[in-house]
């Protein structure tokens, strides 16, 4: 650990140092890719503590819990243990922490439940059914997204119902009752003492805006310094909360935002680039620092990134640069088919591993949509190259974990209807869906929770045994939650619920794995109990309760999960790659209608976001960048022919290692990029006319020497046909492996002469 002092400042360049030591008033740090953003943010907090600011007076907002943990660890390396007392975490986790203390001021219990996506969908599905609406029209995901968007824009159910524009849009989409679903959803969540993820932001805003008992003054006074990481990823609601925390009595608090407008790629989640673009207007006294030196990538990659992003009109002007000269030119691979693209990528990976001694962990394949992974997985398996798909099912989303968690949630908050519905008949105890639906109807009619219904009504017959037995077991578990710490209570619940016994009876590998998962969860709770701390300045006593544990796991994301460290090639979407870096990066599927997405082509703003997404993709590369595209691929069951992406065209010819044949966007004459003479002569790709006029010939017409057209491989010459009716055909455009052996029985070939 460094000695406390200012030696850490010597590790920064001049701009970084100025950004770190400027502590008062509003500060905006525009941090280009690979420019040391994390170091600046970390050292800025360390510097604040080093000059006498109490750690608990610092609020640092991040987008993953993992980022917050790493931030605290790095600060601790500089200034010592005080780092753990900084309020650092995600918007959702820190606001949930505040609401645990203050929720009663706005009509919620302090031990409110946090509904995850499945809980929200389940409740919406129930409401759709209760209103006798068509579940196919009222798609649960679409309805939930609509409600989420409304909350993020501070629109209450009443305001939604009074918005003629929104109602007209819903009528156009054949979902005119969304306003009613929204109204009932909010009502039922409130009745259940529950908040969904959007509510953690919305209710935090309401708490500060309504300011009961001067609560806003309390938190403005506590958080003297507010820092926000990845500010370009914030939505409108998060920005409004930030203003409430940092602007008072007409003056501006000490607020520092760190981000890069050129990496704003999450509009589909509600993020808006306007926040970072408008920050200077909202905070007119802001001091701006631009981190433009890139420490990650070589000169060709950095220069290409500058050229690409300069095509966007909405941006904060900057020019990233690097001292990493002498890099390799950007490799461009054009293929006829997506299958060939997969093979060429695998070939190139093998070549790079041999020539540059890269490990698998040094290499990533990035694509625009997750559906593209299939072909690369197939070819990596054929080459025996180990890989992993980044993401997948989060630990706390596994069924056995969610089942135990539902028992725990109900013990903490008996009003939690979604938890109760999940486990009232699991393990099976003879309580059918019809019975549960009737009980839910009673709860709705009387405006009470499902738990209140089953504990207050007189049970008769079989229900006295089944539901009564469930109630007695739950009450014993609830008592344990009161008297035991989180681990002891959770262990008791897992055993008492019958889930462990049920899974132990399954001796298959899957059953053993499920038991191991529950054991790991319990180990995690025990660690939570042993390591839990409360920062100075909190009103609550040290809290090792299950309620607090539930809060922490409810906010987990895929990025927060620990991944087993094995040597594998990484495959992921470009969105998932943000913040990561690899020695060699392949950006694949660079075709019009795919990247940029066909959904973006009608909107200039969306095209600009697609370009920012491409900018993020190529700046993940440290040493080698490979761009690939295919002339044809199957999409929606049809063979599609696409031009190379406009983004490839935007890279100057001297930065790539080969020429790219690119049609102009105006469908004029083909435009040639690079030194075309370096390539072997090539004929134009298949055109729409070729495919439209295609007519398969009979097997007897396909003979040696004939010119033929194949929809995937283009034009070729039949070299030979053997006795099994297998033709060897040399295709003009397949430079890498021009000869293909094709079974005529299944092939579609058109004889051209």
Q: List the beta strands (DSSP E) in 327-434.
A: 331-337, 363-367, 387-389
> 508 — alpha (psi -120 to 50), left (phi > 0) or beta?
beta
- Can you read off the two tokens belonging to residue 221? 């006074």
Instruction: Judge residue 473's burial from the number of C-beta atoms within 10 Å of its C-beta, 0-12 exposed, 13-18 middle, 19 or more buried.
Output: middle
Instruction: Please name which of 730, 749, 747, 748 lies closest in space to residue 738, comparing C-alpha atoms.
Output: 730
- How many residues in total does the chain contain? 753
Q: Can you tell me the distance from the alpha carbon of 678 to that of 675, in angstroms, rounded to the nearest whole number?
A: 6
Q: Is 725 one of the annotated active-site residues of the chain?
A: no
Q: Which of 198, 199, 230, 240 is catalytic?
A: 230
* Farthest CA pair distance, the chain: 91
Active site residue 263: yes
Closest to 198 (Cα-Cα) out of 553, 557, 561, 555: 555
Rounded CA-CA distance 692/678 in Å is 32
Active site residue 635: no
Is-catalytic flag, 230?
yes
| Under 8 Å between Cβ of 644 and 324 | no
Collapsing DSSP to helix, strand or coil, 725 comes out as coil
User: Does the annotation mark 229 as catalytic?
Assistant: yes
Q: Which two tokens stand for residue 132?
A: 């006798």
Residue from 257, 235, 255 nearest 247 by CA: 255
Looking at 44, 578, 620, 646, which residue is catalytic? 620
Q: How far apart are CA 503 and CA 498, in angstroms?
A: 9
Rounded to 10°, the helix 197-210/236-246 angle is 30
List 17, 37, 344, 633, catalytic entry: 37
Q: List the catalytic residue out of 102, 229, 592, 623.
A: 229
Separation CA 221–CA 626 (nearest Å):
51
589 vs 604: CA distance, rounded Å? 21
Q: How deeply is 482 buried, as exposed, middle or buried, from its count of CB atoms within 10 A (0-12, 13-18, 19+)? A: exposed
User: Catalytic pick from 42, 62, 90, 263?
Assistant: 263
SS3 638: strand
Specify whether 704 is catalytic.
no
Six-digit token string for 457: 């009504």
In degrees, rounded to 5, the angle at the alpha carbon of residue 160 between the alpha carbons of residues 158 and 162 is 70
Q: Looking at the annotation, which residues are catalytic?
A: 37-38, 229-230, 263, 620
């Amino acid at each position: 650990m460094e000695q406390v002092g200012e030696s850490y400042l010597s590790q920064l360049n001049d701009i970084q140092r100025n950004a770190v030591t400027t502590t008062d008033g509003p500060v905006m740090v525009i941090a280009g890719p690979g420019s040391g953003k994390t170091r600046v943010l970390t050292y800025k907090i360390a510097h604040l503590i080093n000059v006498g600011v109490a750690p608990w007076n610092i609020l640092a907002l991040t987008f993953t819990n993992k980022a917050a943990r790493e931030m605290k660890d790095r600060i601790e390396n500089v200034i010592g243990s005080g780092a753990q007392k900084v309020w650092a975490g995600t918007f959702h986790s820190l606001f949930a922490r505040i609401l645990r203390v203050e929720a009663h001021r706005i009509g919620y219990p302090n031990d409110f439940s946090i509904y995850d996506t499945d809980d929200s969908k389940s409740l919406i599905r129930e409401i759709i059914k209760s209103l006798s609406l068509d579940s196919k029209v009222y798609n649960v995901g679409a309805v939930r997204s609509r409600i989420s968007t409304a909350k993020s824009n501070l629109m209450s159910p009443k305001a939604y119902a009074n918005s003629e524009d929104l109602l007209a849009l819903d009528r156009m989409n054949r979902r005119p009752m969304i306003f009613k679903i929204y109204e009932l959803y909010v009502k039922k969540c409130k009745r259940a003492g529950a908040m969904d993820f959007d509510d953690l932001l919305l209710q935090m805003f309401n708490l500060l805006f309504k300011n009961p008992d001067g609560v806003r003054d309390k938190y403005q006074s506590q958080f003297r310094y507010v820092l926000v990481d990845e500010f370009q990823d914030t939505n409108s609601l998060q920005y409004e909360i930030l203003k409430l925390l940092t602007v008072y009595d007409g003056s501006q608090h000490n607020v520092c935002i760190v981000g890069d407008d050129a990496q704003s790629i999450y509009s589909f989640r509600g993020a808006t680039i306007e926040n970072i673009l408008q920050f200077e207007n909202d905070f007119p006294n802001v001091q701006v620092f631009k981190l433009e030196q890139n420490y990650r990538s070589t000169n060709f990659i950095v220069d290409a990134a500058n050229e690409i992003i300069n095509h966007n009109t909405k941006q904060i002007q900057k020019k990233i640069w690097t001292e990493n000269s002498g890099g390799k030119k950007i490799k461009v691979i054009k293929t006829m088919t997506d299958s060939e693209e997969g093979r060429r990528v695998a070939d190139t990976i093998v070549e790079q591993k041999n020539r540059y001694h890269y490990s698998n962990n040094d290499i990533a394949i990035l694509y625009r949509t997750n559906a593209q992974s299939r072909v690369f997985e197939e070819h990596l398996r054929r080459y025996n190259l180990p890989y992993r798909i980044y993401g997948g099912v989060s630990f706390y989303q596994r069924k056995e974990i969610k089942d135990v968690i539902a028992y725990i949630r109900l013990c903490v908050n008996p009003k939690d209807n979604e938890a109760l519905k999940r486990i009232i008949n699991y393990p099976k105890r003879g309580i059918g869906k019809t019975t549960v639906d009737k009980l839910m109807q009673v709860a709705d009619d009387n405006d009470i929770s499902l738990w209140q219904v089953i504990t207050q009504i007189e049970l008769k017959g079989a229900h006295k045994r089944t539901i009564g037995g469930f109630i007695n077991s739950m009450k014993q578990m609830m008592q344990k939650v009161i008297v035991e710490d989180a681990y002891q209570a959770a262990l008791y619940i897992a055993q008492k619920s019958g889930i462990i016994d049920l899974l132990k009876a399954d001796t298959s590998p899957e059953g053993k794995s499920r038991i191991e998962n529950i054991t790991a969860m319990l180990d995690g709770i025990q660690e939570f109990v042993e390591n839990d701390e409360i920062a100075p300045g909190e009103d609550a006593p040290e809290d090792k309760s299950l309620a607090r544990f539930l809060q922490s796991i409810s906010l987990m994301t895929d990025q927060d999960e620990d991944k087993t460290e094995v040597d594998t090639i990484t495959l992921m979407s470009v969105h998932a790659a943000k913040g990561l870096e690899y020695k060699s990066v392949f950006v694949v599927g660079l075709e019009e209608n795919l990247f940029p997405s066909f959904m973006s082509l009608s909107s200039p703003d969306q095209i600009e976001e697609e370009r920012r997404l491409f900018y993020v993709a190529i700046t993940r590369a440290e040493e080698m960048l490979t761009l690939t595209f295919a002339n044809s691929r199957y999409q929606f069951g049809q063979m599609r022919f696409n031009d190379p992406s406009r983004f490839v065209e935007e890279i100057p010819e001297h930065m790539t290692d080969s020429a790219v044949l690119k049609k102009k966007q105006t469908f004029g004459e083909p435009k040639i990029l690079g030194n075309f003479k370096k390539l072997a002569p090539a004929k134009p790709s298949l055109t729409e006319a070729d495919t439209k006029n295609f007519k398969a010939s009979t097997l007897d017409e396909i003979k040696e020497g004939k010119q033929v057209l194949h929809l995937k491989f283009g034009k070729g010459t039949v070299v030979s046909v053997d006795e099994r009716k297998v033709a060897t055909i040399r295709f003009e455009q397949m430079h890498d492996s021009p000869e293909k052996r094709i079974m005529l029985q299944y092939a579609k070939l058109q004889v051209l002469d």
